[in-house]
Amino acid sequence: MSHASGPAIEGLLPGSFTHAASGVSYRIFERDGKAWLSYRRDDSNRQLQGEQELSWFIGSGKRGRTYLFSREGYWFESPVNWYTKKQVWDMNPKSMDAKELPMTLPVDSTCLHCHASGAQPSLPGARNHFANDPFQHGGVGCESCHGDTTAHVDSHGTAPVVNPGKLTPSRRDSVCLQCHLEGQVAVDEPGRSLQMFRPGDELGEDVRFFANANAAGANSRATSQWEALLRSACKRKSGDALTCTSCHDPHGSPRPEERVAYYRAKCVACHSDAAFVARHHPEQQDCTACHMARVSTSDVAHEQVTDHRIPRHPNAPDVTFATAEAERLALIGGGKASDRDLGLAYAQLALRGDAAAAQQAILLLDTAAGHGNSQRDAELHTQLGLLYQEGHDNKAAQREYEDALAADPASSIAAGNLAILEATEHNLPRALQLWRRVQQEDPAQLAAGFNLAIGECMAGNRDAAMEALQRLLLFSPDEAKARQFFEQLSENTQACSASRH
């Protein structure tokens, strides 16, 4: 785990490829001891050429690596990833079908929380904006599991560090799950986030994780080791006695030649009936070959490869937990979620295109918004706003966005969408004011930048419109709409005054 991230130049294998869907050719190379990415397209209508220094990588390289770069203190994932199994450079999984050069995939600090040490909180306004480097050192360090170790070192060992093995079971499990659990949907508690989690804390007080309760069939296979483990007979019968460290040494994995005996000993620690063990498949010493089979090909970074459901028979279908409630999402590990949390979980499904989830989300969030402490909950009001806007109830959406901004003036999603509603109601000055701030603080919100340019032009401000487009193109140089608009404005000095009415 200590190699989960590092400087981009470390172990960099130069390469190049052309991405068919966008027609962009990429080259990854070393210059002056630094890692660089260059991109170009030789199409007379859509000329493109540029380069970008890459700063850090994320991923040990077992399955692949993602690269990070920064522009003006904003951190992004590079459009290209290294794929270890195939030994090739190709597009970032999020950009496989991109038609344009994708340069604005924001890196957020949760990503860094799991892959680096001393991750810094982002500045208000944008989740990928950092005052300095977004983390202090690459890799997962002692403090990720033992808490702040500087006091311990300064006091020559008298100040305590957190020993995960001595915590209550759920705090103990939280230490690993802060990085090894994502769920189908994760919801931050009000005013909290994963980055605030420290060893010794209860993870559920920062983030709550949901998954489909009635998961059955191939396409709903549990994706995390914890979700899978919760379905195993070993876990269901052993309860708190079984945890990640029942099988894993947090300080290192066994060497390949020790692997079989290492895991066998872990199984036999519980399955200790010597007669059973002696008779049970003496021809195969590797218990995991039959009970924890591996999926042979997985390029997917965040899915279990080894079947942690520990089934009787390899690849057995999932155990299902039929719940009495009609609800499809449930807290992973059980327990009852608040209306707010469940509502926000459904809202995320709704954003992925699930119409039934939208109805459920509105009902739950509306109820939650009635409670006194919801005033300061920008996330709740932003999501309700998006749901109402999606359902064409603009008045209600506007009210929710205003509430979100009252709770958190830096909420750029609420500001960008409120601006659209203000503009449709001919309140252009307010819309411009909101879009300007969004583009200034969160330049990866490309739609807000483009809307700002149109709005400035409508208001007769050609220079301001061109400036907005320039800023947009600084972050996303291949944005065709913005390039065309910019060319129109540069060729025609009357462009914006002409459309003024």
Residues 129-188 that bind ligand HEC (CB under 6 A): 140, 142, 144-146, 163-165, 175-176, 178-180, 182
**Contact between 90 and ligand HEC (CB under 6 A)?**
no
Sign of CA dihedral 115, 28, 300, 352: positive
What DSSP assignment string belongs to 412-431?
Answer: HHHHHHHHHHHHHTT-HHHH
Contact status: 266 vs ligand HEC (CB under 6 A): yes
Helix, strand, or coil here: 53? strand
195 binds ligand HEC (CB under 6 A): no
396: three-class secondary structure by DSSP: helix
| d(C-alpha 380, C-alpha 83), whole Å | 38
Q: Quick one: tokens of 312?
A: 């009787």
Any residues with CB less than 8 A from the CB of 120 and at least 6 apart, and which?
A: 109, 112, 130, 131, 132, 133, 134, 135, 136
Is the CB of residue 227 less than 8 Å from the CB of residue 332? yes
Which stretch, 249-257, 400-408, 409-417, 441-449, contacts ligand HEC (CB under 6 A)? Answer: 249-257
Q: Mark the segment that binds ligand HEC (CB under 6 A) among 63-71, 124-132, 336-344, 420-428.
A: 63-71
Give the CA distances from residue 116 to residues 5, 69, 132, 142, in Å, rounded to whole numbers and listed in that order: 6, 15, 15, 11
Question: Cβ 55 to ligand HEC, closest distance in Å?
Answer: 13
Cα 397 to its chain centre, rounded Å, is 26
Candidate residues 55, 122, 288, 461; the one interacting with ligand HEC per rule CB under 6 A: 288
Given a contact cutoff of 8 angstroms between Cβ atoms, the answer to whether 130 and 73 are in contact is yes
268 sits near ligand HEC (criterion: CB under 6 A): yes
Contact between 211 and ligand HEC by CB under 6 A: the answer reads no
* Of residues 170 and 497, the one with the C-beta less far from ligand HEC: 170
Q: Does 111 bind ligand HEC (CB under 6 A)?
A: yes
Tell me how long the chain is: 501
Nearest distance from C-beta of residue 103 to ligand HEC, angstroms: 15
Residue 153 CB, nearest distance to ligand HEC (Å)? 10
Site size with ligand HEC, rule: CB under 6 A: 78
Contact of 18 with 24, CB cutoff 8 Å: yes
Which residue number, 9 or 305, has a Cβ lying nearer to ligand HEC?
Answer: 305
Taking CB positions, which residue lies at the least distance from ligand HEC?
Answer: 165
Question: What is the pattern of x (binds ligand HEC, CB under 6 A) and - over residues 405-434?
Answer: ------------------------------
Q: Which stretch binds ligand HEC (CB under 6 A): 277-285, 333-341, 415-423, 455-463?
A: 277-285
**Interacting residue with ligand HEC among 246, 394, 433, 440 (CB under 6 A):** 246
Which residues, at least 6 apart from 248, have a Cβ–Cβ distance to it below 8 Å? none
Contact between residue 201 and residue 175 where contact means Cβ atoms under 8 Å apart: no
Does 253 contact ligand HEC by CB under 6 A? yes
Residue (259 or 481) nearer to ligand HEC, CB:
259
- Rounded CA separation 310/291 (Å): 5
Complex with ligand HEC: residue 91 or 292, whichever CB lies closer? 292
**Is position 59 an interface residue for ligand HEC (rule: CB under 6 A)?**
yes
The Cα 194–Cα 164 span in angstroms is 18
Q: Take residue 174 and report the two structure tokens written for it.
A: 């939280």
Q: How far is CA 364 from the centre of its chain?
A: 24
**Of 120, 214, 245, 367, the one binding ligand HEC by CB under 6 A:** 245
Please name the amino acid found at residue 362: I
Task: Choose between 101 and 287: whose C-beta lies nearer to ligand HEC.
Answer: 287
CB of 360 to ligand HEC, least distance (A): 25
| Closest among 305, 307, 260 to 63, alpha carbons compared | 305
Contact set for ligand HEC, span 309-338 (CB under 6 A) = 310-313
Instruction: Classify strands 56-58 and 48-54 as parallel, antiparallel or unpaired.
Output: unpaired
Residue ranges in 424-483 that form contacts with ligand HEC under rule CB under 6 A: none
Stretch 11-50: interaction string toward ligand HEC, x if CB under 6 A: ----------------------------------------
Of the candidate residues 91, 103, 215, 234, the single one contacting ligand HEC (CB under 6 A): 234
> How many C-beta atoms surround the C-beta of residue 12 within 10 A?
19
User: With respect to ligand HEC, which residue has the nearer C-beta, 152 or 381?
Assistant: 152
